[in-house]
Structure 1
């Protein structure tokens, strides 16, 4: 029933919120719709006007192009007639014309600059103006465009040549040519007429096409024959490709951007083919001049529209504010009505309505109870009849206290208020927790009172459970995080210290493994009780989880007090723990950190105690350690080095050095051992002693080992056809890599990836790699052997391998540790040991390698003992691949390397 009521109230509140919000957001929505509509209409109008202006520009350019094309057609027809007349006259006079006769043929037109006749062989037969021809042209008439075209074209038509300039003159001229045919129709020569190019186009009118417009006649080859323009335009030769493509049509129009023209001026272009001639008349109107008036109108329209939008926005804001105020006042009225309904409908809550009683100066001095129910009157310590009409100041008991009146004053001032009160119900009953809510409405206060004692008790119980370990009943991690900061503050005020003892159990995992987790839980419960007994009454024992505990010594006077508590805890763990499964012995390691000596805040204090505990464990367990800054710095450096090593593996900061093994008798290199080096970005080249141990501890050796295998196989593939192409390379495999990874799969994958033969790779294993699981080790070694890879025992003599183990493992090579090589020549036992190893190895079919050979005497003794191979600084030091000797034979100058 309560759930249905809550859902109904939530639904009604949601509907009320939506009804109140709708009118408020209607105004912005209305303004947005009106603004969008106006802008859409304005943009459409401006676009229509733009199209109209552009159409006008195209029409103007089209009229100019059409009129100029018609005029040019007449002019070219006249020129063609002149060419025909001159050719006829030339035939009539037998090739000897007179200037007067030519003037009668041509007429008084001064635009004609020159008349010439050229023979079919390319010789100048006649010209009335030799200065119109350059010496270069006269010498190469057969290469002139008119001569080439007239010979190429079988038809007898007029050819319009490209524009040219006379020497010393800026005015261009155009040559027109036509054939001279004899009576049989054969070519008898060519007549050429030169005409001023400007005469082909009349003067330019900027009022029609704009400042940057132009008019030009263009041949079908894209070259302009004549050009007229405004003061700002220049001639374009050749014409833009986009326009040249369009000129293939008889007439048309298009918009050409300034990028195509190359002068950043966009134009509206129209063209018209000249009837009867291969010439197109082009007229272009300047876009900026054409649209100048439109742009002014557009800017004015946009300013007006922006102003109108601003006015509309102001109107919408004012309307929204007024609507919001109206609905807020309406909502407040509804809240007041709801408060009255809530006060009168509830049966389990007390309610009453109070009216303020004003004193001098409109100051509220008291409140009069206008109405209430019996439960509310009970909270005031009286009955409903006695309370109704009474002043709170005249009532005694219950809520009729000073804090209650202060809450009413706050609600009357702010509109609403609520608070919790503790009501003492007498010695026979527990105190009641009351929650009081007050709402002001129309000058009166509606008050509800609810008993929340059970709720408070439930919350306190939840808080207690959240701060308590369920297994031991001790405070847990959440408790210490909530209360330790307050302890530190109290220590600061008292000038005392706070000691944190981090307690970790030694051997607890063995208890779980031996007796089971049930017995482990019993041990933890016993541990909690022993710790409580070992510490002082004011100290706190906390279980963090698992087998980790913390003891907090609040207001400790000195470090000695913390050490005394630690000693008592260690002593308490001397006796074994009895469980249902048997007796278990558990020790403890304790780390101590003091505030404010070792740390200034909770997190650091806790961290330093943990580090001190770790130092106690690494020092032998069952002891305590105070926080040591030097140990902390060492751990910090180790953590930093581990982080750097992870990054180095991810970024492949490693390089390989190679140390040769040589045959003891021949001195020839038989194999190379690959040794990894870390090319640290800040510290330079680091040897394996700087990082291999850390890699083993952290497990990074697994990824590093895979990387080393890949680097070595890459180098072997590069050596395939070199001096070291047939020399095998041995790779050291760590114990963890061998036992935790499928080393056979890693090697097989690398061999396939780099396409190298298995005989070029050897694997070196230490004796410690083989003692974890001998059966599994034997299987893995057989699998590697099956690939064709040789197996070597590295550092033999320092581990635990037996003769039977070596026999079962099927190794190929035995490498004797350098500690035994160093004893050669020092005492007899060194030679005895080596002789025994060599005899044993040879009987098992294995070759023997002596590591660490550093002197000529050691080499001589090993040769006498019939050792198979030598390796050491006396022969070769580890070097990068590129620094290996060029020969496989051991040279005198290579011994020893320094």
Structure 2
């Protein structure tokens, strides 16, 4: 088919384009197969995990039900048995009284019944002498010689109530058998102790035979006293050695019934058990049934592992299937794509399109080089882009046309490029005279020895892109340039400043009090203020300066080609003056100030980011200096900020890694010279700087909120040390812990203390809490409630640094503090003037009237100690007596020979 015969209009180009789109759509199945495989695998795994979790929950529920039934049945039976034994004790005692203290076996059998004759029944007099027994062999000689010291006799003699006492299991001499003694008082006519009747019973008689089918091979049944002592015990195979009751189970036995899972390590073996317990009605005994379902658990785990292996195998098969399907899809897509490209190239070369289109054939000159191009065919729209009619275009040489696209100087270079490379594309801008400029996109594809050219008008697209670019660089609220604009244009300004040997100043402008406007009048009024701010800034700066809104209430002013810093300062003063007048909004009149930071290029920074950062830092310095002012960038302030940031980072790491140690400073009683308490003082063992005192980090911790976590850590460290002192010299000396105002008001300090006491097993009386007066002024009612809750733990409360805060007499009275610690600034005045003694005398009188003890802090001289002792101060603390030291360096004795001996 001839070339001219195939070029019949735009339809051919549309078909080619549609073929390419169809080819791209065919690629979707390539990605669908892996996605499908992933969805199926995830669904199967989720379902499998749910099924396995359901099996585990069902297994645990059945196990707890089985152990609960055994515990409930055993508790009921034991209640009946203990009631019967108690009745026998009562009958035996009554019989003893009836026969005048001379019981006979035959008569006793008639009283308790012939079926109880097998019991070991004994009667002792008030002095421990045996009056009667039907089993002499059950009483070893050493026990008969010291009956009054045996637990049953001592308990009945001590107790003021007439109740049955249940003893601990005891081993019979020469046997593997354990027995338990039950005892009850015999009272004379006056209600005094006349004797004790004792019934001894084999401990296994109190527990039914062990059922391994219910509780498993490693389970057990036991009866336990409320103190955790084992009374009777059965395990599989008749074992008689009672187990050690774990501490976790002892805590749970405070309730009348329940279930708990106990790991094997808690029992001292490797067997984990499901525990159920029931309180025996009317007696201080708990029946514990422990179910060992090891075999069932193993079977369950084997099923889980088997299921997971099957699922993994299925996933592997699915993965193989997905790989094969994806590979086949890729191969099919590649073949389709090659076919589509061939068809598209042919159609572009032979068919027309809906856009401007024409076919050109090269015209060769000397040495067969392409000298020009001749138009073989075109559509009407294509001819229009060339500036003439279709009839005038076909057959004409490109160089002979002057209108439209043909007049563009680079059109031939584009065609040459396409002829060399196979395709090319470029945009052209045509002058429209009085009309709007026209933008064309020209695409060229080589097919055989001709070029298929498509032309599309993209004027509207270009206009839309330009509008989007303008919008992307403009703040929508104020109409000012935005952050994107300054990041795009500031580097160019710096380059111009380098060439002109000038400077560029960046003024970071932040509004003061803008949040109050939003909170008072609403965000609508806040937007009006921002619009007014933009206008005032434009008026305040010079004509060639740039005002930029970064966002929120932050603006930047860029001064280009500045000679010296005084020019920037002059503009900053004009801006400050512009904000003196209030702003009128629809909601009312608002007053807003501004803080300005100034940074100069290249004096303060060598690049855009650093210049902007230094201006921001200078603004922050203006804020911290009192606001409504400007500051030039100060490298010393910047270094201080960096050092603070570095210290904050180190402090966070120190808390996470527990780099802190506690030192302890003793408080001494004025009268006895005895150490009455220790104050815990935290120290930071810095990895590189060594031991740091609290002045180095406590203030920063307060500002950043890290004091909350640090306070929790200090409480734990102190309680750990108190627990280690449980049997030492300082076992009875309480330790006071300083609690910051933020920690007290932002955390549940009562819960923190209670948790630490329970965790370390120490009593509340071992801990004292020191609070500053500032901690109590935030919310006095809540403070009083918190202090009462802490007091309920047995913890003493101290007012620290008294005299430097805002506490009043009524506040101290309502807060119910135990100790008042007078700040060291007042102690330092003692011996210098009389006002110091007057102040201390007033404080001591007031504190004693409120039932509080007084501690003088900062005692550094013997003269101060003498004066305080004369003023009847209760306790002293300071370097004159003891310096803060680690726990291992504390004095070995709690008593000083005298206060004058301290140093």
What TM-score bracket applies, with the shorter chain setting the length? 0.5 to 0.7
SS of the residue aligned with 1:835? Answer: helix
State the match for 1:425 in structure 2: 432
| Partner of residue 652, structure 1 | 658
Query: Structure 1 pair 494/331, CA: closer, same or farther in 2 (3 Å)?
Result: farther
The 10-residue stretch of structure 1 (357-366 or 677-686) with the greater mean CA deviation from structure 2: 357-366
Which residue in 2 is equivalent to 1:340? 349
Counterpart for residue 247 of structure 2: none
- Of 17, 22, 31, the residue aligned with 1:11 is 22
Q: Contact conserved, 2:865 with 2:899, CA < 8 A, in 1? A: no
Match runs of 1:708-747 below 5 Å: 708-747=714-753
Given the superposition, is the C-alpha separation of residues 733 and 326 from structure 1 closer, same or farther in structure 2, using an over 3 Å criterion? closer
Q: 2:570 aligns with which of 560, 564, 574?
A: 564
Which runs of structure 2 are paired with 1:198-237 in the superposition (5 Å)?
Answer: none
Counterpart in the other structure of 1:849 = 855
Cα distance between partner residues in 2 of 1:16 and 1:623: 63
1:416-459 alpha-carbon deviations (Å, 9 max, x no partner): 111111112221x2111111111111111111111111111222
Tell me, yes or no, if structure 1 residue 542 matches structure 2 residue 551. Answer: no
Question: Is this contact kept in 1: 2:20–2:344, CA < 8 A?
Answer: no
Following the alignment from structure 1 to structure 2, what is the Cα–Cα distance between the partners of residues 461 and 812? 74
In structure 2, the partner of 1:487 is: 493
Q: Name the residue aligned to 2:417.
A: 410
Aligned partner of 1:199 in structure 2 is: none
Alignment CA distance shift 1:727-1:6 (3 Å): farther
Equivalent residues of 1:876, 1:895 under 8 A apart: no
Q: CA deviation at 1:339?
A: 2.0
CA contact (8 A) 1:475 1:541 kept: yes
Deviations 1:626-684 (A, max 9, x none): 11111111111111111111111111110000001111111111111000000111111
Secondary structure at the residue paired with 1:417? strand
- How big is each residue's C-alpha offset from its partner over 1:489-525, in whole Å with a ceiling of 9 and x where there is no partner? 2222332222111111112222222222222222222
Task: For 1:328 and 1:779, locate their aligned partners in 2 and report how far apart those are by CA, in whole Å.
Answer: 79
CA distance in 2, matches of 1:781, 1:460: 67
Matches for 1:731-810 after TM superposition, within 5 Å: 731-810=737-816
Equivalents in 2 of 1:726, 1:873: separation in Å? 23
Query: Which range moved further: 684-693 or 465-474?
Result: 465-474
Change (3 A) 1:667 1:325: closer
Q: Secondary structure at the match of 1:339?
A: helix
Shift of 1:895: 4.6
Deviation at 1:621, TM superposition (A): 1.2
Q: Name 1:68's counterpart in structure 2.
A: none
Q: Please state whether the residue corresponding to 1:345 is helix, strand or coil.
A: coil
Within a 5 Å distance, the mapping from 1:849-868 to structure 2 comes to: 849-868=855-874
- 3-state DSSP class of the match of 2:771? strand
Is residue 2:695 matched to residue 1:689? yes
Q: List alignment gaps of at least 5 residues for structure 1.
A: 20-322
Aligned match of 1:456: 462
Query: Could you tell me how far apart the structure 1 residues matched to 2:682 and 2:334 are?
Result: 78
User: 1:524 maps to what in 2?
Assistant: 530
Residue 599 (structure 2) pairs with residue 599 (structure 1): no
Equivalent residues in 2 for 1:282-681, closer than 5 Å: 333-340=342-349, 344-346=352-354, 349-400=355-406, 401-427=408-434, 429-681=435-687
Secondary structure in structure 2 of the residue aligned to 1:475: coil
Q: Does the CA-based 8 Å contact 1:499-1:554 persist in structure 2?
A: yes
Cα distance change of structure 1 residues 458 and 744 upon mapping to structure 2, 3 Å threshold: same
Distance change >3 Å, CA 764–CA 373, structure 1 → 2? same
Between structure 1 and structure 2, the one with the greater Rg is: 1
**Residue in structure 1 matched with residue 884 of structure 2 by the alignment:** 878
The Cα offsets for residues 448-476 of structure 1, whole Å up to 9 and x where unpaired, read as 11111111122222222222222222222
Question: CA, structure 1 residues 338+736, in 2 after alignment: closer, same or farther (shift >3 Å)?
Answer: farther
Confirm or deny: 8 A CA contact 2:23 2:340 kept in the other structure. Answer: no
Q: Distance in 2 between matches of 1:499 and 1:548?
A: 17
Distance 1:567 1:12, change over 3 A: same
Q: Is the 8 A contact 2:862 2:900 kept in 1?
A: no
**For the residues of structure 1 that align with 2:335 and 2:416, how far apart are their CA atoms?**
27
Q: Does the 8 Å contact 2:23/2:337 carry over to 1?
A: no
**SS of match in other structure, 2:477:** coil
Q: Check whether the contact 1:333–1:441 (CA below 8 A) recurs between aligned residues.
A: no
SS in 2 for 1:390: coil
Pairwise CA distance, 1:751: 0.6
SS at match of 2:410: helix
Question: Equivalents in 1 of 2:429, 2:901: separation in Å?
Answer: 95
Change over 3 Å in CA distance of 1:434–1:761 after alignment to 2: same
Matched, 1:813 2:831: no
Q: Is the contact made by 1:874 and 1:895 (CA closer than 8 Å) also made in structure 2? A: no
Q: Please state whether the residue corresponding to 2:352 is helix, strand or coil.
A: helix
Maintained 8 Å contact 2:670/2:899: no
Offset from partner CA, 1:55-99 (integer Å, 9 cap, x none): xxxxxxxxxxxxxxxxxxxxxxxxxxxxxxxxxxxxxxxxxxxxx
- Is the CA contact 2:477–2:527 (under 8 Å) kept in the aligned structure 1? yes
Distance 1:398 1:740, change over 3 A: same
Q: Is the 8 A contact 2:23 2:336 kept in 1?
A: no
Measured after TM superposition, the shift of residue 824 of structure 1 is: 0.8
1: CA distance between counterparts of 2:789 and 2:495? Answer: 66
Equivalent-residue separation in structure 2 for 1:890 and 1:721 (angstroms): 21
Tell me if the contact between 1:659 and 1:675 (Cα under 8 Å) persists in the aligned partners.
Answer: yes
* SS of residue paired to 1:450: strand
Distance change (3 Å), C-alpha of 1:660 and 1:324: closer
2:816 & 2:462 partners in 1: Cα distance? Answer: 76
Residues 438 and 446 in structure 1, CA contact (< 8 A), matched pair in contact too:
yes
Call closer, same or farther: CA 1:891–1:573 in 2, change over 3 Å: farther
Deviation sequence 1:206-262 (CA, Å, 0-9, x none): xxxxxxxxxxxxxxxxxxxxxxxxxxxxxxxxxxxxxxxxxxxxxxxxxxxxxxxxx
Moved more, 870-879 or 488-497: 488-497
TM-superposed CA distance for 1:381, in Å, is 1.1
**What's the offset of the Cα at 1:18?**
10
Residues 439 and 459 in structure 2, CA contact (< 8 A), matched pair in contact too: yes
What is the match of residue 840 of structure 2?
A: 834
2: CA distance, partners of 1:382 / 1:642? 75
Separation in 1, partners of 2:477, 2:761: 60
1 CA distance for matches of 2:352 and 2:16? 17
With the length of structure 2 as denominator, give the TM-score of the two structures.
0.63
Q: Is the 1:369–1:391 contact (alpha carbons within 8 Å) kept by the matching residues of 2?
A: yes
Q: Which runs of 5+ in 2 are unaligned?
A: 1-13, 31-331
Counterpart-to-counterpart distance in 1, 2:611 and 2:666: 53
CA shift in 2, pair 1:749/1:634, >3 Å:
same
